[in-house]
Structure formats: C-alpha cells, structure tokens
A and B are shown apart, each in its own frame.
Chain A
C-alpha cells in the first residue's frame, strides 16, 4: 500500500487551462513537500507546507494543506508549457526518510 496516493498520474492539457493535482494519505503527517522534476534533472523543491489548512502561493501555483493534515493539493492557474514536468509530493517518515508519491506527469500543450 502506497503511503501517499497522487492523482491523476498523467495529465495533458492545453496552455491557458487550470488544473489541480491531489496528494492523499490515510495517515496524518507533520509536513508535506511538493517537488517538480524536469527531464534530465533531479527534483526541485517547490514548497513545504506545515500547518493544517495552510495555503501557499508561488506565482500561478497554489498549494493547500488539508485541515486534518492528511491531504494536499496543487492548483496551477493558466498553465504554460514551462509547467510541464513530473510533480511529486513527499513526506518525512521517521527522522529523515523522504517518501514520495507516485507522481503526476503533466504535459502542457501549446
């Protein structure tokens, strides 16, 4: 059983559309991180959310941490081709073990 369930696994949309990616767990977690990985590169940290109900904005990206701290979402407004990549949520299991969701492979078509 996956500790973190991400959905959808694949998403292909047109430039200018909005989208939401979800990350869910059956367990409560203290914090959650979102990463984006582009081909040929390692994942790059986008945000860390810590407080239940927290909302963080990063330009056109909005990250939300659920009130019960068991889920999180990433919303992209007016998607652009540069947003294409693999989006990964991750949480800390134990002291320093980072566990990743399966990832959402996003393609934005011009």
Chain B
C-alpha cells in the first residue's frame, strides 16, 4: 500500500484565518480523498481530487470553503478558509490501493485543527 505524509499534524488557528494542509504520497495515484472527522465522530468525505481537473465535493461542502489543489499525481492540498470554531476537526487525506480482497484505503495521520 501507499505511504502518505500529511502536515501539519496539528495547528491552533484564529477564527477568520485559513489553513492549508498538505498530503504527499510515495507513489502516483489517480485520486486523492479528503475527509473530516469531527470530535468524537466518524469520518465524512469532503471531496475527491483528480489530477488535472476540479475536485468533486460532497453534499454540504463547497469549494469556496474548502479549496483543493492537485498539481500532480503524488500531491494535494486542502485549505480550510475563513475558519470558525465549528471547523475544529481532524482532517485526513486518503488514497485507494489494491483489488478485490486486497482492496482498501490508506490514510494520512491527520491534521488536528483547533480554531479559537
């Protein structure tokens, strides 16, 4: 499976500012996925990022709030814009790998964001 490096691992930000999270994969992948995990909750897909095209956002998430870049097949960024305390969550990137019974997703270690 792929190895993902995600940074920063955590940050404390002032409301109204923006934070950009980076994910670097050790192999080329077609799609990268961005998830949000609110405190004590499960993971919710924010968007899917394809290289060379605009990201596809899930219901409840918009590009103005969560702009995504995908400049090449090994790298992506997610920006959390104009932050409010409600944006305090763990943000994770992910890639898929394998086939059939050996199919799954690898996740970065996450970015724990606290907005004050």
- Chain A residues with CB under 8 Å of chain B are 31, 33, 40-45, 48-50, 88, 96-103, 105
B residues 40-67 near A (Cβ < 8 Å) are 40-45, 48, 58
Kindly list chain A residues whose C-beta atoms are within 8 Å of the C-beta of B69.
Answer: none
Contact pattern, B 6-49, Cβ under 8 Å of A = 1, otherwise 0: 10010000000000000000000001010000001111110010
The one of B43, B58, B105 in contact with A45, judged by C-beta atoms closer than 8 angstroms, is: B105
Shortest distance from the beta carbon of A95 to any chain B beta carbon, whole Å: 9
Kindly list chain A residues whose C-beta atoms are within 8 Å of the C-beta of B6.
Answer: 42
| CB-CB nearest in chain B for A38 | B109
- Cα A104 to Cα B51 in complex, Å, equals 34
Kindly list chain A residues whose C-beta atoms are within 8 Å of the C-beta of B43.
Answer: 43, 88, 100
User: Contacts A98-B45, A100-B42, A100-B43: A45 and B106 contacting too (C-beta < 8 A)?
Assistant: yes
| CB-CB nearest in chain A for B103 | A48
User: Contacts A42-B92, A50-B100, A96-B48: A102 and B41 contacting too (C-beta < 8 A)?
Assistant: yes
Kindly list chain A residues whose C-beta atoms are within 8 Å of the C-beta of B110.
Answer: 40-42
| CB-CB nearest in chain A for B1 | A45
What range describes how many residues of B lie at the interface?
Answer: 20 to 34
Q: Are B103 and A31 touching (Cβ within 8 A)?
A: yes
Q: Are B103 and A42 touching (Cβ within 8 A)?
A: no
Q: Are B108 and A42 touching (Cβ within 8 A)?
A: yes
| CB-CB nearest in chain A for B93 | A42
Kindly list chain B residues whose C-beta atoms are within 8 Å of the C-beta of A31.
Answer: 103
The CB with the most chain A CB atoms within 10 A, among B44, B101, B110, is that of: B101
In the assembled complex, B107 has its CB within 8 A of some CB on chain A: yes
Kindly list chain A residues whose C-beta atoms are within 8 Å of the C-beta of B33.
Answer: 96, 98
- Counting from the closest, the 10 A-B pairs by CB-CB distance are A42-B107, A45-B104, A100-B42, A103-B42, A100-B43, A102-B42, A42-B92, A41-B109, A43-B107, A42-B110
User: Contacts A42-B94, A101-B42, A102-B41: A48 and B104 contacting too (C-beta < 8 A)?
Assistant: yes
Q: Are A88 and B102 touching (Cβ within 8 A)?
A: no
| CB-CB nearest in chain A for B30 | A96
